Amino acid sequence: MPLSEHEQRMLEQMERALYAEDPKFASALEGSGLRTYTRRRVYQAVAGFLVGIALLMAGMVAQLIWVSVVGFLVMLGCAVLAVTGWRKAPKPGEQPAEAVRRQARPKRSMMDRIEERWQRRRDEQGH
């Protein structure tokens, strides 16, 4: 459940106060969040990629095509996870992109957007 605008403002004020009071502690807390999670996810994807290479080679040596195909698919999946995880990782001292996007404009439901488009079309046609 997303935070209300008031709750988001209060959270931001508390964060600013924490940074002002004890920047060292605040940066230590920041590192344990999303950045650490995405870094760990990228490392796991790299390890999975290496397992995929091993499966690919083992399938070639044992002349089992299905093992090689599985190895290739594991490599492909892990490469996608690593790249997307790396791109989504926030830089140190930066808010996650999702939080910035959420603050920029409030989320509207699909029906609200459809109704808005309908009203715009009616207004453009002069009805």
86 vs 90: CA distance, rounded Å? 9
Tens digit of each residue's pLDDT (9 = 90 or more) over 26-66: 666 665 555 677 778 888 888 999 999 999 999 999 989 99
Handedness of CA 89, 91, 93, 99 (dihedral sign): negative
Q: What is the pTM of this model?
A: 0.46
The average pLDDT across 9-31 equals: 73
